[in-house]
Amino acid sequence: MNTIELRDLCKSFGKNQVLKNIDLQLKSGEVTALMGPNGSGKTTLLKSILGLVIPDSGKILVNNADVKNDFHYRNLIGYMPQIANYPENMKVRELFAIVKDLRGHKEITDDELIDNFKLNEITGKNFGQLSGGYKQRVTGALAFLYHPEIMILDEPTASLDPLSSEIMRNKILKEKQKDKIIIISSHIASEVETLADRLIYILDGKIIINKTLKELKNGSQELKLGKTLTEILAPVLHNKKS
């Protein structure tokens, strides 16, 4: 069973403290949704786990091992950024070929999203020629390509049409059944309600909510997550203004 543990994680950019003493444990077989307003620290938190941002203090442990000065754990991770920044003059087939070459062609690839998103029809196009939706599809297919045991998906349905969004959601739920750690960030309460087992809500760099959806809704199947969040966060936001 894979685990991720964050211990007293802090990160500042200049005078702006973006992460404040974050403690968090994530486990296999669970989809964890990360929510919060823009600038709350969500992306910094995800990039810290990925090793793309180095925390000022605290520890990140993957499978009980400190990841500081160690990059091998990244082989476990499939990452889907919200905005893909691949070379615009690179053809889609070249992009997939490079990723496969980096992995040494040693593993059987997961081509389900390539097929379902019909990406074989656009492999001859330059990445820069693609619409935002197609860029998102390519990025998603790359994230799942090597059966990663840990998935980090930043706004996975952003820019996707309704059909492609449903394909992505079904893929996430399917992968959860394989006992993986899956972390998604999303602004869409209904999407979180469909996909997630646990909700982490970040505000001003602090975790305000860390509960399962069942705990949030008190076991009610009728209560909507958006309404629940509004009731919980209203006094917090009011005190912040005061």
Is 190 domain-assigned?
Answer: yes
Is 109 domain-assigned?
Answer: no
* Residue 241 pLDDT: 62
Is 61 domain-assigned?
Answer: yes
Alpha helices in 103-224 (DSSP H): 112-116, 132-144, 162-176, 189-195, 213-216
Give the burial class of 13: count Cβ atoms within 10 A of its Cβ; 0-12 exposed, 13-18 middle, 19 or more buried.
exposed
* Residue 242 pLDDT: 56
Is 36 domain-assigned?
Answer: yes
CA dihedral 129, 132, 137, 138 (to 10 degrees): 40
Which among 154, 160, 153 is positioned nearest to 132, based on CA atoms? 160
Angle, helices 132-144/92-102, rounded to nearest 10 degrees: 20
Beta strands in the chain (DSSP E): 3-13, 16-27, 30-35, 57-62, 65-66, 77-80, 150-154, 181-185, 198-203, 206-212
Is 117 domain-assigned?
Answer: no
Is 108 domain-assigned?
Answer: no
Tally Cβ neighbours within 10 Å of residue 89. 10
Is 72 domain-assigned?
Answer: yes
* Residue 106 pLDDT: 65
* Residue 222 pLDDT: 59
* Residue 94 pLDDT: 94
* Residue 182 pLDDT: 97
Q: How far is 225 from 141, CA to CA, in rounded Å?
A: 29
Q: How far is 146 from 143, CA to CA, in rounded Å?
A: 8
Structural domain span for residue 179: 3-88+150-165+175-241
Q: What is the pTM of this model?
A: 0.91
pLDDT tens series, the chain, 242 aa: 889 999 999 999 999 999 999 999 998 999 999 999 988 999 999 999 999 999 999 999 999 999 988 888 888 999 999 888 889 999 999 999 988 887 766 678 899 999 999 999 999 999 999 999 999 999 999 999 999 999 999 999 988 999 999 999 999 999 999 999 999 999 899 899 999 999 999 999 999 999 999 888 775 565 688 888 888 887 776 566 65
Under 8 Å between Cβ of 116 and 167? yes
DSSP category for residue 166:
H
Is 62 domain-assigned?
Answer: yes
CATH of the domain at 161: 3.40.50.300
Q: How far is 209 from 200, CA to CA, in rounded Å?
A: 5
Give the number of domains in the chain. 1
